[in-house]
Structure 1
Amino acid sequence: MVLSYMEGFLLGLGAAVPLGPINILIMNESVKRYKNGVIIGLGAMSSDITYLFLIMFGLMIYVNQPEILNGLSLFGGVFLIYLAYTIYKNRDTKIDIPIQQVAKKSSMKLYLKGYILTSVNPYTVGFWFSVSGYIAGKELNPFITLFGMLSAILLWITLMPYLVHRSRHKISQRVSHWISLVSSIILFGFGIMMFINLFYN
Structure 2
Amino acid sequence: MPSYFTGLLFGLIFIFSFGPGFFALLQTSVQKGFKKAIFLALGISLSDVLYVALAIMGLASLLEKPTARMWMAIVGTVVLIAYGLYSWFKKPKIYQEKQEADTELSYLKYMLKGFVLNGFNPFIVIFWLGIIGLVAVNYDYSSGEQIYFFVGVLTTILVSDITKAFIAYRLRAMVTPKKILILNRSVGVILILFGIQMIYFLFNNFLID
Pairwise same-fold verdict (TM > 0.5): yes
Structure 1 Cα separation of the partners of residues 60 and 10 of structure 2 = 19
1:154, distance to aligned residue in structure 2 (A): 2.3
Structure 2 Cα separation of the partners of residues 10 and 122 of structure 1 = 25
1:146, distance to aligned residue in structure 2 (A): 1.3
Q: Which string of whole-angstrom CA distances, capped at 9 and with x for unpartnered residues, describes residues 63-117 of structure 1? A: 1111111111111000001111222222422x1x631114658222211111111
- The answer to whether 1:81 aligns with 2:58 is no
Q: Which string of whole-angstrom CA distances, capped at 9 and with x for unpartnered residues, describes residues 24-55 of structure 1? A: 10110000211111111100101111112111
Structure 2 Cα separation of the partners of residues 81 and 131 of structure 1 = 27
Structure 2 residue runs without a partner (length 5+)? none
How many aligned positions are there? 198
Aligned to 1:167: 171
Structure 2 Cα separation of the partners of residues 57 and 149 of structure 1 = 17
- The answer to whether 1:20 aligns with 2:19 is yes
Q: Say if 1:73 and 1:121, in contact at 8 Å, map to a contact too.
A: yes
Query: Match of 1:188, as an amino acid?
Result: I
1:16, distance to aligned residue in structure 2 (A): 5.2
Aligned to 1:148: 152
Q: 2:98 aligns with which of 94, 97, 100?
A: 100
Structure 2 Cα separation of the partners of residues 9 and 76 of structure 1 = 29
Query: Match of 2:167, as an amino acid?
Result: L
Instruction: Trace 1:34-53 onto structure 2 (pairs within 5 A).
Output: 34-53=34-53
Structure 1 Cα separation of the partners of residues 4 and 124 of structure 2 = 21
Structure 1 Cα separation of the partners of residues 16 and 35 of structure 2 = 19
What is the TM-score when the length of structure 2 is the normalising length? Answer: 0.87
What is the TM-score when the length of structure 1 is the normalising length? Answer: 0.90
Instruction: Trace 1:52-91 onto structure 2 (pairs within 5 A).
Output: 52-91=52-91
Structure 2 Cα separation of the partners of residues 76 and 35 of structure 1 = 25
Structure 1 residue runs without a partner (length 5+)? none
Q: Say if 1:27 and 1:164, in contact at 8 Å, map to a contact too.
A: yes
Secondary structure, in 3 states, of the residue corresponding to 1:87?
Answer: helix
1:6, distance to aligned residue in structure 2 (A): 4.1
Query: Match of 1:30, as an amino acid?
Result: S
Structure 2 Cα separation of the partners of residues 74 and 10 of structure 1 = 34
